Amino acid sequence: MLLSDILYKVNIRSVAGSTGVDVNDIQIDSRKSKPGSVFVAVKGATADGHQFIEKAIENGAVVVVYEDSLLKTHDSRLTYVQVENSAAAAAYMANNFFGRPSEKVKLVGVTGTNGKTTIATLLYKLFTRLGYKCGLLSTVENQIGSAKVPATHTTPDAISLNQLLSQMVKEGCSHVFMETSSHAIHQHRVTGLQYAGGLFSNITHDHLDYHKTFDEYIRVKKSFFDSLSSAAFAISNADDKRGTVMLQNTNAKKYYYSLKTLAEFKGKILDNSLSGLVMNVNDIEVHFRLIGEFNAYNLLAVYGAAICLGEDKQEVLTALSVLTGAEGRFDYMVSAKEKVIAIVDYAHTPDALLNVLATIKKLKKGFEQVITVVGCGGDRDRTKRPIMAEAACEYSDKVIFTSDNPRSEDPAQIIKDMEEGLSAAAKRKYISIVDRREAIKTAISLAKPEDIILIAGKGHEKYQEIKGVKNHFDDKKVVKEIFEILGK
């Protein structure tokens, strides 16, 4: 493809060399550059692509796209394009290079702190059940029809993302459902995509290690809705105190879902138990297999999106009633002998943890203990550590603080951060066990018949990252093994 064709919509400052040059691919990783590549020097959170321009040229790059005005050396055989923002340029160029794939499918983006994975996964499962070939881009996995593609980030980089969307178009997908993280919005990974609609779940304390302030986090989420076209729909949670703010400047058609107030997509919980939710949805009574108030919100969001995409409400509710959620989201197992319930959940924010514990409280018959195993990730927002610890202690009978993914940090220090500021009552409820397997084993040992154990923080993840190494670790598998070993 000609360079001039893939520069459409890019905010260019200057060009040195020809834009009539043929290019074979676009790269933001200099190591992947080869003869005929365009190398885009992107300033990342940990590395600056401008430092690797020479390496990209050595590997065969024929075009360099950059934003840093300090770049002095120019090879007359190459083309240099200076742009306002390299990350945005990479997104527009990838979109053009892969034939603007988002315009050839109905792309729905899901953003918010909690619920993104469940909403996107349910939409994928629902539309597949309704007879469409669909794509899914999520934290747990990416899917093209029935084929699974491993997921490394909540939202892939702009080049990988457009390549995946292009594959989905080639495979005949008509709908694509995508988690759209605040990092992806801020880093321009989704810039240039055409969305059929956007969904907002909720916004709570998270990612302040990256966004620095809560106001900035809100602003970034809101910018996703600000960018939607008038042909798109925007659906927001009316019960979230920032649900209205999210849509206040969007050009898209606005809709709301709610359990507590008037909304286009209105729900009421009639029963909530381990056998599922019974809800009234827009005056139709439905039994769902999912559990908990947080899933009632997720189901309303999915129902709303399906109606906005032109589906029949009765068919949608019938199909939704038999669906299960995403892996690692309120996944529960019951031990064979003592009927101990173990729940594995991805809850890694204070609000997500509170939601899960509130759901467990509503499921209790009255006499069971709630034992929570929880940790906090290393190299991430430290301010939420004591908040999560306090939440776990307040809503559980016993708590075990343990390792999550400590990454480069000392797991014992992470636990000390969690312990800071705990009330006297909370301090009487917890013990600390750094080794996650031992912590889970201890929780199961402490459990009496029909007690409920929550193992929070990792959910679907099949690894534990310690000092840069991903060691195999699967909470669900560990629970099953220990149930058997202890004869529970």
Give pLDDT tens digits for 39-58.
999 998 778 999 999 999 99
The CA distance from 156 to 184, in Å, is 8
Is the distance from CB of 236 to CB of 308 less than 8 angstroms? no
Is the distance from CB of 284 to CB of 314 less than 8 angstroms? yes
Strand order in the sheet with 106-111: 147-149, 142-144, 134-137, 175-179, 106-111, 197-200, 233-237, 253-258, 265-273, 276-281, 284-288
Q: What share of the chain is helix, strand, coil (3-state, %, to 5)?
A: 35, 25, 40
Checking DSSP bridges between strand 463-466 and strand 469-472, what pairing results, if any? antiparallel
Check pLDDT > 80 for residue 484: yes
Give pLDDT tens digits for 16-33.
999 999 999 999 999 999
Least confident of 395-399, 420-424, 471-475: 420-424
Give pLDDT tens digits for 154-196.
567 899 999 999 999 999 999 999 999 888 898 999 999 999 9
Check pLDDT > 60 for residue 207: no
The residue to which tokens 């809705």 are assigned:
225
Give pLDDT tens digits for 337-360.
999 999 999 999 898 899 899 999
What pLDDT is stored for residue 381 in this prediction?
86
Check pLDDT > 80 for residue 153: no
Average pLDDT in the 377-387 region?
A: 92
The CA distance from 190 to 183, in Å, is 10
